[in-house]
Amino acid sequence: MTATDSALTALSQGWCALSLLHGRIESHIERALQAGHGLSVREFSLLDVLSRQHNGPGGHLRMHQVADSVLLSQSATTRLVSRLEDRGLLSRYLCDTDRRGIYTDVSEAGLALLAAARPTNDTALREALDEAARNPQLAPLVAVVENSGPAAV
């Protein structure tokens, strides 16, 4: 094995560990949100992103910006928005200045569900990180996640 092979193997192992950590966290949060609130991780993320919009300049996101924020394709994001709109959690409307643009707002019911689900999300995240920290392969990644918040920047 050459030095390059060793470096690539280490890189691959690091990527696998990161992927494992992400998967464990996401599945733990998914179970908690589904059980407690009937929400998926993606639905929670979408409500969270859209709830942060404001009425000032640049305060509303277009669908492609929303898709980028929730790490989905634009078509998958549109389907997700439609499902949440059907549940009365979102509403869509045309942009006043560009009739081609469609904006999405969280309804009062969506805001209430998001507020109720946020502690569940936060608790599940903490639990998943605590569990992963006990795994020697994942512990260094957990430390990076824990030290990368706003206070650490």
Write out pLDDT tens, residues 85-141: 999 999 988 877 777 778 899 999 999 999 999 999 999 999 999 999 999 999 999
Whether the pLDDT of residue 153 is over 50: the answer is: no
In a 3-state reduction of DSSP, which class is residue 50? helix
Residues 6+ apart with CB under 8 A from 50: 61, 66, 90, 104, 105, 106, 110
How many angstroms separate the CA atoms of 134 and 122, rounded? 19
Question: For residue 152, is pLDDT > 60?
Answer: no
pLDDT at 101: 77
Give 70-83 pLDDT, tens digit per residue. 999 999 999 999 99
Q: What is the pLDDT of residue 102?
A: 82
Domain boundaries, the chain: 28-147
Please report the pLDDT score of residue 106 as a whole number.
95
The verdict on pTM exceeding 0.75 is: yes
Question: Which CATH number, 3.20.20.70, 3.40.50.300, 1.10.10.10, 2.102.10.10, labels domain 28-147?
Answer: 1.10.10.10
Q: What is the pLDDT of residues 1-44, one digit of tens each?
A: 555 677 778 889 989 999 999 999 999 999 999 999 999 999 99
Q: Which residue has the higher pLDDT, 77 or 153?
A: 77
Return the sign of the alpha-carbon dihedral for residues 32, 37, 38, 41.
Answer: negative
> What local confidence, expressed as pLDDT, does residue 87 receive?
97
Q: Can you give the pLDDT at residue 151?
A: 62
